[in-house]
């Protein structure tokens, strides 16, 4: 199926999708505060602009949407309509993620990926796991 939008219109639509201060990020931030883990949001100076930076542990945390980064859960399925477009888009996201994680490791940072569905299942459990990694 061919994309029904022009490249310019598709780009405009994609730009309007919220990528900061999402519900999962807010829940995770609240849990980090409750656990008194010092953190900063949206590391603009690090590769990939991590959602959270835990400087004490030199850890960059990415909260990835299951759809946008092709998780194996039910939310990570490719839509049936315009599927080639979505496969290409998601594959580009995955390649960019790998490149950013590699660059972070090269700078001495630990890159941690948290799936959105895992946060829904239990924010506290994920935050404790992060604490154990540090």
Give the model confidence (pLDDT) of 76-123 as tens digits: 777 777 788 888 888 999 999 999 999 999 999 999 888 888 877 667
| pLDDT, position 108 | 96
**pLDDT: is 16 or 47 the higher one?**
47
Strand partners, 61: 52, 112
Contact 47, 104 (CB under 8 A): yes
Strand order across the 40-41 sheet = 40-41, 52-54, 59-64, 110-115
pTM of the shown model: 0.74
Place of tokens 């299951």: 66
Structure tokens at 113: 């990926």
How many Å apart are CA 6 and CA 18, to the nearest integer?
A: 21
pLDDT, tens digit, 9 for 90 and up, residues 31-79: 888 888 888 988 788 999 999 999 988 999 998 888 878 888 877 777 7
Strand pairing report for 59-64 and 52-54: antiparallel
């Amino acid at each position: 199926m061919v994309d029904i939008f022009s490249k310019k219109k598709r780009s405009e639509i994609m730009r309007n999708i919220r990528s900061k201060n999402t519900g999962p990020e807010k829940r995770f931030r609240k849990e980090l505060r409750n656990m008194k883990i010092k953190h900063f949001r949206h590391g603009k100076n690090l590769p990939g602009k991590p959602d959270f930076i835990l400087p004490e542990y030199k850890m960059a945390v990415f909260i990835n949407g299951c759809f946008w980064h092709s998780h194996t859960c039910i939310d990570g399925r490719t839509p049936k309509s315009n599927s080639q477009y979505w496969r290409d888009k998601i594959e580009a996201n995955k390649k960019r993620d790998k490149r950013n994680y590699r660059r972070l490791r090269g700078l001495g940072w630990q890159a941690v990926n948290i799936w959105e569905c895992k946060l829904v299942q239990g924010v506290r459990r994920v935050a404790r796991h992060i604490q154990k990694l540090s």
